[in-house]
Structure 1
């Protein structure tokens, strides 16, 4: 197993996944800004994504949709490097050349997600704060923050809220490992179906489509928890949820879900889903496309093209 964990192939997959995700997120970053604003700012009305972005640009300036780009990209790069590295090294050590099945992909995806969450949650807490800093909220109860950068945000959060605050939202994040796990299970399954036992490289269109389908399903299924995750990472609660600070993490999640449903109905749990689906589906599709092409080219240069195709 040690040889698979430290294999060069795992490093290639990790770097390819990180580069692909960073490029894709940069292209569709404004859509993520619209999604996050709708999730956290409860008083902002959910409208079409273009309308939300136009409103943000009008009130906060042309570059506002790209606010917090750098910390998000840093977090995403680290997160996807860890996830792709764990997923491919665990898969190689588990299968040892055998054909994978959906249940195996799901289990390996969950294990990789748990490692990823525990390692990278502080980065996502900081990037959520920085991305929302300076925003004009409809909710007057939200307290403004003043971080000068990533390191200053780490220092202030640790000093003012305690070191544990850097892991705010860890429990919903752990539950949300189902998102990439489901995504990779569907993606790998569709790849096997398209190949039907014939080792070949999929076309760019095929990779883009199956990446989009896989992410759309995973996002829709897990979206309510993603909303709670964003609220917890932001670190601010309205009066209706102050009591949850004294509860366990599970009761906190339950309290936030129930309060949101009481105020806005079941659809309140899916506020911002349109923006999230557009952003995450397009980002994931482009990310998988770039990931496959970068990995394929790298393995081709290394002379490992055939073995790479067989493993996939």
Structure 2
């Protein structure tokens, strides 16, 4: 087999498809369980006039003002986006890993590079879905910030059409710049996860226990989230993009300059800690979600390989 045929075989392999399906199913299930925590985090990031409180207090406030189901507002578009996003990411990660390693043992540095490359592909493909789901998730919310203009979308397709008609096609990629910088998040996450997994296995190809997978998934996500959180705040603001007055922020759209502008503006208004507003809710949600996602992903992938009678490839170890 020549090199070109080998690379094509790795890209379109059954193993990569199994990893992608398992990752997508695991992430959707985990996000559904912890979705209200993400609602609290997003509300704190975008509505900078809302006072930072504990996550339970924010959720209680949202339920009191907007109804019992308010913490699950926007669940469907988020789940659709997450499913597509994780399918693309896991598929790219394992395809690129198989192509590069060709059966050899990986290293933390290689895991980081592969994770970043997979993240770039994922951002460019799925950003429009995340822009729409951010808008839908915040639609109908009671904001403290009077500069935020309410939206009136009837669903995913209607939101896509309205954004293109009113703001141009480019608006579907609002927040792309911080999103590209944020590929460090899954890159760091997968680097730590894969490194800890190799360390726990100690060179023996054994299946980790549920507790081990849950723990290393939580650790990996906690580190990655804390390091990159200020950029996640900027990303949420840019994706939402609804302000009554034309500001420098809206003119800059998703350029690197707008990232710096929003960071400086948030620091001026709320101090350094303003960049980490909602971190408690984000850590609680993202760490638990990632831990459960990795647990489900590992179990689904392992079960699928066993049922199909295929030995799990070395590149996944």
Aligned to 1:54: 60
Aligned to 1:225: 231
Structure 2: gaps spanning 5 or more residues: 1-6
> For residues 97 and 137 of structure 1, what CA distance do their matches in structure 2 show?
53
CA-to-aligned-CA distance 1:44-96 (integer Å, 9 cap, x gap)? 01100000000000000000000000000000000000000000010011101
1:13 equivalenced with 2:1 (yes/no)? no
Aligned to 1:27: 33
The count of residues paired between Structure 1 and Structure 2 equals: 310
Structure 1: gaps spanning 5 or more residues: none
1:45 equivalenced with 2:47 (yes/no)? no
> For residues 291 and 311 of structure 1, what CA distance do their matches in structure 2 show?
12
- 1:119-130 matches, cutoff 5 A: 119-130=125-136
1:243 equivalenced with 2:251 (yes/no)? no
Kept after mapping to 2: 8 A contact 1:128/1:233: yes
> For residues 227 and 244 of structure 1, what CA distance do their matches in structure 2 show?
14
Aligned to 2:163: 157
What's the CA shift for 1:237?
4.5
Please, which of 86, 110, 116 is the counterpart of residue 116 of structure 2? Answer: 110
Aligned to 2:289: 283
1:197 equivalenced with 2:203 (yes/no)? yes
What's the CA shift for 1:308?
3.4
Let me know the Cα RMSD of the aligned residues: 1.3
> For residues 91 and 310 of structure 1, what CA distance do their matches in structure 2 show?
7
> For residues 316 and 131 of structure 2, what CA distance do their matches in structure 1 show?
35
> For residues 292 and 238 of structure 1, what CA distance do their matches in structure 2 show?
46
> For residues 53 and 116 of structure 2, what CA distance do their matches in structure 1 show?
34
> For residues 183 and 193 of structure 1, what CA distance do their matches in structure 2 show?
15
Aligned to 1:308: 313
1:168 equivalenced with 2:201 (yes/no)? no
What's the CA shift for 1:244?
3.6
Secondary structure in structure 2 of the residue aligned to 1:119: helix
CA-to-aligned-CA distance 1:208-240 (integer Å, 9 cap, x gap)? 00000000000000000000000000013586x
What's the CA shift for 1:243?
2.0
Secondary structure in structure 1 of the residue aligned to 2:150: coil
Kept after mapping to 1: 8 A contact 2:241/2:250: no
Question: TM-score under structure 2 normalisation?
Answer: 0.96
> For residues 305 and 203 of structure 2, what CA distance do their matches in structure 1 show?
20
> For residues 186 and 83 of structure 1, what CA distance do their matches in structure 2 show?
16
> For residues 128 and 33 of structure 2, what CA distance do their matches in structure 1 show?
24
> For residues 226 and 244 of structure 2, what CA distance do their matches in structure 1 show?
26
What's the CA shift for 1:302?
1.5
1:267 equivalenced with 2:273 (yes/no)? yes
Aligned to 1:66: 72
> For residues 201 and 238 of structure 1, what CA distance do their matches in structure 2 show?
54
Q: 1:309 to 1:303 in 2, by over 3 A?
A: farther
Kept after mapping to 1: 8 A contact 2:149/2:244: no
Aligned to 2:150: 144
Secondary structure in structure 2 of the residue aligned to 1:28: helix
Kept after mapping to 2: 8 A contact 1:169/1:233: yes
> For residues 104 and 275 of structure 1, what CA distance do their matches in structure 2 show?
31
> For residues 154 and 114 of structure 2, what CA distance do their matches in structure 1 show?
38
Question: TM-score under structure 1 normalisation?
Answer: 0.97
Please, which of 192, 213, 225 is the counterpart of residue 186 of structure 1? Answer: 192
Q: 1:210 to 1:244 in 2, by over 3 A?
A: same
